[in-house]
């Protein structure tokens, strides 16, 4: 807040916006912001966590920027409405994965928190301990945790499960992650007989795998998963439904009392039977997943998200014009709508 004001902006905050992150309206006022019921009134830039409903933007200035996690593929109708109303919608999740944009990347900052929280929730639902304990009454063996998808969330899930004392293994389609898994003290479990994704692929993201790969992966998972107590799945493919990694038949081979956390549940789920914000019990195995996992760590999620927004806008702030001016590389990547039209090639292609 103070930083935006130091840039020369005036800032309005929707009344009650900070409640879940433990920030009161008075604290925003003390930092120099105006607190209002209709904070978008007269705004040139509207900042949000998720995309606001278009009708809530009625008081914003013509051509205003809408900057948030806009879920461009999932909320296409909303993007069209932003275009029709003449707004310039900027999707923070389309930030390119280049070094200078790392501090602006909401997917990284939020996935990191999500990976941590997933392990804590799974540990809480698990009726046993994570670390090995040798006690006078006997030995408690260490929990076995398996992380599927080793991007930002998966790496943090491995580190968190290790810190809690679990024996951790992990898998990914990108072979570059093998070394990362080992460096965190976990065991890599990889499909060896069919080629995965060498190097980092486009922008570091995964693509949909061949049928042959999927079959080999399913066989590998089947033999491994029956021995696991905790499974954390994080696999995503941009613009596509999440890949299905665990079937009901595979869940049936797991020990009763095991816990699966499906971090991809909001994108369709990696796990058959998972449902957003529910604990589903199948074959004695608890399957859990939140529609918005970072929101379960609201204070840190909010602090990191707002820093991402500030890092983005301040990097492009033009003092003379008193507003940000984007360069071509980042502008073209994140701009969804301009001049009444949808302009982003990922939505047009």
- Of 40 and 113, nearer to ligand NAD (C-beta) is 113
The set of residues, in sequence order, having a beta carbon less than 8 Å from that of 31 and lying 6+ positions away, is 1, 2, 5
**Which residue, among 319, 330, 308, has the nearest Cα to 48 in the 3D structure?**
308
Q: Give the list of residues 6+ apart from residue 118 with CB closer than 8 angstroms, or none.
A: 153, 157, 232, 234, 261, 263, 293
Q: Among residues 44 and 316, whose Cβ is nearest to ligand NAD? A: 316
Which of the residues 87, 108, 258, 262 is marked catalytic?
A: 108
- What are residue 120's phi and psi, to 5 degrees? -65, -40
Q: Taking contact as CB under 6 A, which single stretch among the options 61-69, 235-243, 303-311, 316-324 is the one that binds ligand NAD?
A: 235-243
Residues contacting 103, CB < 8 A, separation 6+ = 307, 308, 311
Query: CA 273, 274, 275, 281 torsion: positive or negative?
Result: positive
Of positions 85, 91, 209, 285, contacts ligand NAD by CB under 6 A = 209
Per-residue binding letters, 112-151, with ligand NAD (x by CB under 6 A) = ------------------------------------xxxx
Give me the catalytic one of 28, 82, 87, 105: 105
Q: Is 22 a catalytic residue?
A: no
Q: Which residue is nearest to ligand NAD (CB)?
A: 151
Longest dimension (CA), the chain: 73
In sequence order, the β-bridge partners of residue 337 are 342
Which one of the spans 43-51, 64-72, 101-109, 135-143 is the region binding ligand NAD (CB under 6 A)? 101-109
Which residues within the stretch 15-54 sit at the binding site for ligand NAD (CB under 6 A)? Answer: none
* Residues of the shown chain interacting with ligand NAD in the complex, contacts defined by CB under 6 A: 97, 101-102, 105, 107-108, 111, 148-154, 171-174, 204-206, 209, 234-237, 243, 245
Query: Looking at the annotation, which residues are catalytic?
Result: 97, 102, 105, 108, 205
């Amino acid at each position: 807040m103070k930083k935006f004001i130091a840039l020369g902006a005036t800032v309005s905050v929707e009344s009650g916006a900070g409640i879940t992150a433990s920030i009161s309206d008075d604290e925003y006022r003390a930092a120099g912001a105006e607190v209002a019921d209709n904070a978008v009134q007269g705004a040139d830039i509207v900042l949000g966590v998720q995309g606001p409903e278009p009708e809530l933007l009625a008081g914003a200035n013509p051509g205003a920027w809408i900057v948030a996690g806009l879920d461009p593929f999932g909320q296409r109708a909303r993007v069209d409405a932003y275009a029709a109303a003449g707004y310039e919608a900027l999707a923070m999740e389309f930030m390119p994965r280049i070094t200078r944009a790392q501090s602006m990347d909401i997917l990284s900052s939020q996935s990191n928190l999500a990976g941590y929280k997933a392990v804590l929730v799974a540990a809480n639902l698990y009726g046993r301990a994570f670390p090995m304990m040798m006690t006078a009454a006997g030995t408690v063996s260490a929990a076995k945790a398996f992380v599927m998808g080793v991007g930002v969330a998966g790496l943090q899930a491995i580190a968190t499960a290790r810190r809690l004392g679990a024996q951790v293994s992990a898998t990914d389609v990108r072979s570059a992650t093998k070394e990362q898994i080992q460096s965190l003290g976990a065991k890599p479990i990889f499909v060896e007989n069919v080629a995965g994704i060498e190097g980092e692929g486009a922008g570091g993201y995964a693509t949909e795998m061949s049928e042959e790969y999927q079959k080999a992966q399913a066989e590998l998972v089947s033999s491994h998963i029956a021995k696991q107590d905790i499974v954390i799945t994080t696999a995503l493919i941009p613009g596509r439904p999440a890949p299905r990694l665990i079937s009901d038949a595979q869940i049936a081979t797991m020990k009763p009392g095991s816990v699966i956390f499906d971090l991809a549940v909001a994108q369709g789920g990696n796990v058959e039977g998972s449902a957003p914000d529910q604990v589903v019990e199948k074959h004695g195995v608890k399957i859990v997943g939140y529609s918005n996992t970072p929101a379960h760590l609201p204070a840190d999620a909010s602090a990191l998200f707002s820093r991402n927004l500030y890092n983005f806008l301040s990097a492009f702030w033009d003092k003379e014009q008193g507003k940000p001016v984007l360069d071509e590389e980042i502008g073209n990547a994140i701009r969804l709508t301009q001049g009444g039209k949808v302009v982003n090639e990922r939505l047009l292609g």
